[in-house]
Amino acid sequence: MPTKKHTVRFEPDGVSVDVFADGENLLRVALVAGVHVNASCGGSGTCGKCKVKILEGEHEADRSSKISDEQWQEGFRLACRAKILGDLVVEVPIESRHEKGVLARIRGDKQDHVLAQKLLSAELETVPPEPIIRKYYLELTPPSDADNISDMGRLGQALKRAHRIESVGGEFEMLKTLPQVLREGEWKVTATVLTGRCGNKVLKVEKGDAREETYALAIDIGTTTIHAQLINAFTGKKIAKAAEYNAQMSMGEDVITRIVHAVKPGGLEALQKRAVKTINEVLKEVFDKSEIKRELVTHVVMGGNTTMTQLLLGIYPKYIREAPYVPAANLFPVFPARELGIDLPAGVLAYTMPCVASYVGGDITAGVLATQMHLGDELTLFMDVGTNGEIVIGNKDWMVSASASAGPAFEGGGVKFGMRASYGAIEQVRINPLDLEPMFMTIGQVKPKGICGSGMIDCIAELQQRGIITQNGKFNRELSAVNWRIREGEGGWEYVLCKAEDSQLEEDIAITEPDIDNLIRTKASIYSACSVLLRSVGLQFTDLQKIIIAGGFGQYIDVGKAMTIGLLPEVDPNIVSYGGNTSLEGCRIAALYKGKVEEAEQIASMITNIELSVSAIYMEEYVAALFLPHTRMEDFPIRARRLEESKKFLDEVRKANPSSVLK
Ligand code: FES
């Protein structure tokens, strides 16, 4: 657990919150603590509604035109523009707590707002990289009458002597210029060497010590999004990253549609070209941002689900979707990246993460590698929520996997204002129980333009807890009389999170009933897959010691909210952590450590995959999970109690506040 740095007390409720880092944003802290502060521009500082008064304590805040000189002197600040630098006492004035300035008291939510801690491959960060293609600095003894072996022989001797690399051969292109490079470099050179299963090979020789000038790329080939990261392969430092929607999306949102397209004449080629086109766009962004030359890249590690891997490599994918669901291969040969059309120099080699089965691919192998669940004793559940939901359960002794056709809802697909976790995505949401007004923050604290996975989890959980939607995800129509945000829009009933004027769009940002249906199906599919997998090995949710969620949700996943909607089982929230894009992280680790490539291959061979489509209990589990949080409320006792409390609370508010909008 991180150590507490400061405490913030919010008045008049007296809710105190521990803060773990200097410079933490005051609005975010209020949001996590369940203290309502009006905030309708995502924290971009433009709506001016999040005014609070700092009564005591050290802080730093941007000056805003929304605050008069007089107010500034009195200690008023915009919470979204204030950083916490010491213990604070903060008053949330009535006008910042309630849209219309009525009602006396905010209810500090006594709920477990546990933000999943980001998982770090911490131990590896301190180990110097030892990639499969590595640069070695060598000082060679110049030839003489007594020692006139070939230049390549001399280089081989030096590698053996200094680095124990034996039987090294030379790449033809490298040999063409080797004599000049050795002499111009006065026998002090850097050799780029591939140490692989098929022998060791010098790929390139440069003058002087060029070890630090070496880069590798990690690429996550997602069905929806392709991410790339450039890393320094000598220091391990992350240099730049970028992401783009996969251009294959126009040929189908899911892998099945793409396979159908791929088996049509010219289909496979078209899909392959689109994946490569997106990769090239993402790489361009990475190189532009970093100003690193492509010539300095030595290798690429790519990870994707089995279909994406086969489509990228141009391998006929038809049999992936036909029983008994057989992939072409689980291990793929190393090949020059350029052969696929990837815009990298000729010598750059590409390695593809090994797959497990037709629907559990290299992205999951990479994910397990990143989480290191294959090295520990703890019974771990790893779920990667992308376009599909893939799940692995196990530890160092055994692992089982399954794939649930979840749909890309948490990645923004099939949700009206859904978007991936990038600038402008609403990622945290709270709704005031008293007036049903929202409070939210966006990634980058800019005006919102959509909502990402973690924002959707929060939003649905809050809508349910506030009684705005029922447990089957339908809007309580009568609440439209209470707050205009609950309304019938063009696409059905919806809750307006952000007015057009506060957003980057020309229309209101809302979450609709069809969106909620879609998200319920997605979470049901994932939860039921976990449930079936556990049952198949004679275990239950309470046996789990660790849960790792991965996927492009956004930085802040509220574990309690994920349980409230039934995406996660009701367990101790402290065992849950967030892995982020573990596929990309696993590729990065494999790009930096040769030993991890071997480990990835062991992981892929040790996982036993279970086909959910042939499971007799899957459908029964899925239907049971199509409810918020679940039809078996006995499995969610805390949520069941809170739902009751919430109902009682709303009744009390109605009685105690005759002027309440919740009449
Ligand atoms: Fe702070 Fe809008 S000004 S949330």
Is 78 inside a domain boundary? yes
Regarding whether 431 and 339 lie in a shared domain, the answer is no
Q: Which atom of ligand 1 is nearest to the CA of 37?
A: 4
Is 605 inside a domain boundary? no
Regarding whether 487 and 429 lie in a shared domain, the answer is yes
Which of 86, 117, 148 is the C-terminal boundary of a domain? 117
Q: What pLDDT does residue 4 have?
A: 78
Q: What pLDDT does residue 482 have?
A: 82
Distance CA 389, CA 437 (A): 32
How far, in Å, is the centroid of ligand 1 from the Cα of 45?
4
CATH number assigned to the domain comprising residue 13 = 3.10.20.30
Regarding whether 153 and 95 lie in a shared domain, the answer is no
Dihedral sign for Cα 68, 69, 75, 77, please: positive
Instruction: Say if CB 311 and CB 299 are below 8 A apart.
Output: no
Minimum mean pLDDT among 334-338, 361-365, 407-411: which range?
407-411
Regarding whether 157 and 262 lie in a shared domain, the answer is no
Regarding whether 170 and 35 lie in a shared domain, the answer is no
Q: Quick check: 663 pLDDT over 50? A: no
Regarding whether 244 and 320 lie in a shared domain, the answer is yes
Q: What pLDDT does residue 407 have?
A: 75
Question: Predicted confidence band at 170 (pLDDT cuts at 50, 70, 90)?
Answer: confident
Please provide residue 406's backbone torsions phi and psi, each rounded to the nearest 5 degrees.
-80, -30
Q: What pLDDT does residue 429 have?
A: 95
Q: What pLDDT does residue 405 have?
A: 80
Angle at 106 between CA 100 and CA 108, to 5 degrees: 145
Please provide residue 341's backbone torsions phi and psi, each rounded to the nearest 5 degrees.
100, 5
How far, in Å, is the centroid of ligand 1 from the Cα of 561?
23
Of all residues in the chain, what percent carry a pLDDT higher than 70? 94
Question: Predicted confidence band at 362 (pLDDT cuts at 50, 70, 90)?
Answer: very high
Which of 335, 352, 369 is the C-terminal boundary of a domain? 352
Q: Which atom of ligand 1 is nearest to the CA of 81?
A: 1
- Residue to substitute in 44, 65, 96 for testing ligand 1 pocket (most ligand atoms within 8 angstroms of CB): 44
Q: What pLDDT does residue 645 have?
A: 80
- Residue to substitute in 25, 35, 47, 445 for testing ligand 1 pocket (most ligand atoms within 8 angstroms of CB): 47
Distant-in-sequence, close-in-space partners of 264: CB < 8 Å, separation ≥ 6: none
Regarding whether 219 and 202 lie in a shared domain, the answer is no
> What is the average pLDDT across 524-541?
95
Instruction: Say if CB 22 and CB 5 are below 8 A apart.
Output: yes
Q: Quick check: 450 pLDDT over 80? A: yes
Write the CA distances from 214 to 239, 296, 308, 371, integer angstroms: 12, 5, 28, 26
Highest mean pLDDT among 105-119, 192-206, 575-589: 575-589
Distance CA 37, CA 382 (A): 35
The three-state secondary structure class of 553 is coil
Q: Quick check: 480 pLDDT over 90? A: no
CATH number assigned to the domain comprising residue 150 = 3.10.20.880
Distant-in-sequence, close-in-space partners of 178: CB < 8 Å, separation ≥ 6: 151, 152, 155, 170, 205
For 147, the domain range is 126-207
How far, in Å, is the centroid of ligand 1 from the Cα of 7?
22
Is 224 inside a domain boundary? yes
Question: Predicted confidence band at 107 (pLDDT cuts at 50, 70, 90)?
Answer: very low
pLDDT digits 0-9 by tens, 201-214: 999 999 999 999 99
The 3-class secondary structure across 311-325, one letter per residue, is HHHCCCCHHHCCCCC
> What is the average pLDDT across 656-662?
53
- Residue to substitute in 78, 428, 429, 432 for testing ligand 1 pocket (most ligand atoms within 8 angstroms of CB): 78
Regarding whether 184 and 100 lie in a shared domain, the answer is no
pLDDT digits 0-9 by tens, 371-424: 999 999 999 999 999 878 899 999 999 999 999 987 778 888 889 999 988 899
Is 611 inside a domain boundary? no
Is 375 inside a domain boundary? no
Which of 77, 92, 117 is the C-terminal boundary of a domain? 117
How far, in Å, is the centroid of ligand 1 from the Cα of 328?
53
How far, in Å, is the centroid of ligand 1 from the Cα of 446?
10
Mean pLDDT for the chain overall:
90
Distance CA 278, CA 462 (A): 36
Domain count, the chain: 4
pLDDT digits 0-9 by tens, 492-521: 999 999 999 999 999 999 999 999 999 999
Query: Residue 204: is it exposed, middle or buried by C-beta count within 10 angstroms (0-12/13-18/19+)?
Result: buried
Is 343 inside a domain boundary? yes
CATH number assigned to the domain comprising residue 230 = 3.30.420.480
306 versus 102: which is more confidently predicted?
306
Is 552 inside a domain boundary? no
Token pair belonging to 630: 């679940």
Query: Residue 27: is it exposed, middle or buried by C-beta count within 10 angstroms (0-12/13-18/19+)?
Result: buried
Ligand 1 pocket list (CB less than 6 A):
39, 41, 43, 45-50, 78, 80
How far, in Å, is the centroid of ligand 1 from the Cα of 439?
9
The three-state secondary structure class of 400 is strand
Distance CA 80, CA 440 (A): 10
pLDDT digits 0-9 by tens, 109-148: 445 666 776 666 555 667 889 999 999 999 999 999 999 9
> What is the average pLDDT across 330-336?
93
Regarding whether 337 and 257 lie in a shared domain, the answer is yes
Distance CA 502, CA 490 (A): 20
Regarding whether 21 and 81 lie in a shared domain, the answer is yes
How far, in Å, is the centroid of ligand 1 from the Cα of 39?
5
Q: What pLDDT does residue 655 have?
A: 67
> What is the average pLDDT across 71-75?
94
Examine residue 2 and say whether the peptide bond preceding it is cis (omega within 30 degrees of 0).
Answer: no
- Residue to substitute in 25, 29, 41, 501 for testing ligand 1 pocket (most ligand atoms within 8 angstroms of CB): 41
Regarding whether 249 and 327 lie in a shared domain, the answer is yes
pLDDT digits 0-9 by tens, 246-299: 999 989 888 999 999 999 999 999 999 999 999 999 999 999 999 999 999 999
Regarding whether 419 and 296 lie in a shared domain, the answer is no
Q: What pLDDT does residue 114 have?
A: 67
Q: What pLDDT does residue 540 have?
A: 94
> What is the average pLDDT across 151-179?
92
Q: What pLDDT does residue 119 have?
A: 67
Q: Which atom of ligand 1 is nearest to the CA of 502?
A: 2
- Amino acid 324 reads P
Q: Which atom of ligand 1 is nearest to the CA of 42?
A: 4
Is 483 inside a domain boundary? yes
How far, in Å, is the centroid of ligand 1 from the Cα of 312?
44
